[in-house]
Amino acid sequence: MKLDVNVLRYLSKDEFRVLTAVEMGMKNHEIVPAELIDRIAGLKTGGAYKNIRTLLRHKLVHHDSTKYDGYRLTNLGYDFLAIKTMVNRGLIVGVGRQIGVGKESDIFEVVAEDGQTLALKLHRLGRTSFRAVKSKRDYLKHRSSFNWLYLSRLAALKEFAFMKALHEHGFPTPKAVDWNRHCVLMTLVPGYPLVQVKELKNPALVFDTVISLIVRLAEHGLIHCDFNEFNLLIDDDEKVTMIDFPQMVSISHRNAESYFDRDVDCIYKFFLKRFNYVPGGNARTLQGIDNNVDEDDTRPDFENLARTAGALDKELAASGFTHQNQEDLDQYIAQHKSDSDGNAASDSDAEASDNSDPGESEIAGKLNNTSLQAEEKQSSSCSEDETTGPKNDHIRLQRFRRREASAVRGGERPDLHLSRNVNKDKGGKRSRQAKARLDCAGL
């Protein structure tokens, strides 16, 4: 869904109060009842219901009545709450163009009070392409109460904590300014993604710089886990900056070595394919590239790095990102990466409704099934009584007259749609209706 911040200027204080009440209710409810929203908002009688209609019109909340009648926040409503908080803190005064789109995030230019241009990253865990996976896979096992907004909030908290710590330790990363909900505010780094670069002046120097970043991270006890050309920025002076940290893990992780080797292999493969560069002049044995060449002696060794690793991962435990938060994100990231390839077909089915809200596809499916059943029922009734129309109405009237006449002449019981006492003249309204039917039958 497109972020239109113009609507933000026209929302009243009461509407934001109701929107916040929906968010508070979602802590314990998947769908928040309207009565609970009214109690949490604490407005005058009927005030919450009036404001809910405005929020529905702007698609900030979604109405759901599959299980019971209630409302939930949409991604756009969550965006408005976070941006409003940033504005109230005096951090930003305007939102500009979108400068980046990832599979699980959107990045916008924003303007600070002093005129400085910053970057605002909105985490979008659970885009439409992954909703079908969530409905069929149990990412969180027994903890089914989690939703995508909660996971996006955890990803933002983790990225802010890691980005701030890495920048303080001298790593080339954007400077973390602040965070709220699923948004991270950071400095805007000039440059381009490395994947968009077709030619380098000194590929050997850039390669050494990138590999040294992987080694430095490991020496501090961290592994990026998604260190590739998409998460590396390079400027005109070929200065490298690394971004995207929600998936980082400690070097003590049980799969740390495989993650480390995968990061290194991504860099080797990219420089070989894009720039035809091989470190040391000897090709490294890579999967699917060359299996008959010598091993590169300059390749980083994970075991040696693990023995001398620092404890930056332990220092981050005091940043507010708890151990339980890490477990929740690990379950999501591990399952997502292992199942993303096997669920490509189911993901493509959900891509058609990319601009819709979570849950709308299920409701639309049920509505379609209901309409199909109604059409089948209508078609079956039409096959028995013929289709409607002037000609068919005349035919049905003739059949009605013949049935009534045969019932009266033969002394048989009339059809069920006639009164049981049709032959008894009681002088009332029903008697007059019965006589009218007989007159229509020509008797």
Measured CA to CA in angstroms, residue 345 lies from 103, 133, 197, 349 at distances of 17, 10, 31, 7
Please confirm, yes or no, whether 301 is among the known catalytic residues: no
Catalytic member of 64, 226, 244, 357 = 226
Measured CA to CA in angstroms, residue 115 lies from 84, 111, 173 at distances of 18, 6, 22
Rounded to an integer, what distance in angstroms lies between the CA atom of residue 294 and that of residue 2? 51
Active site residues: 226
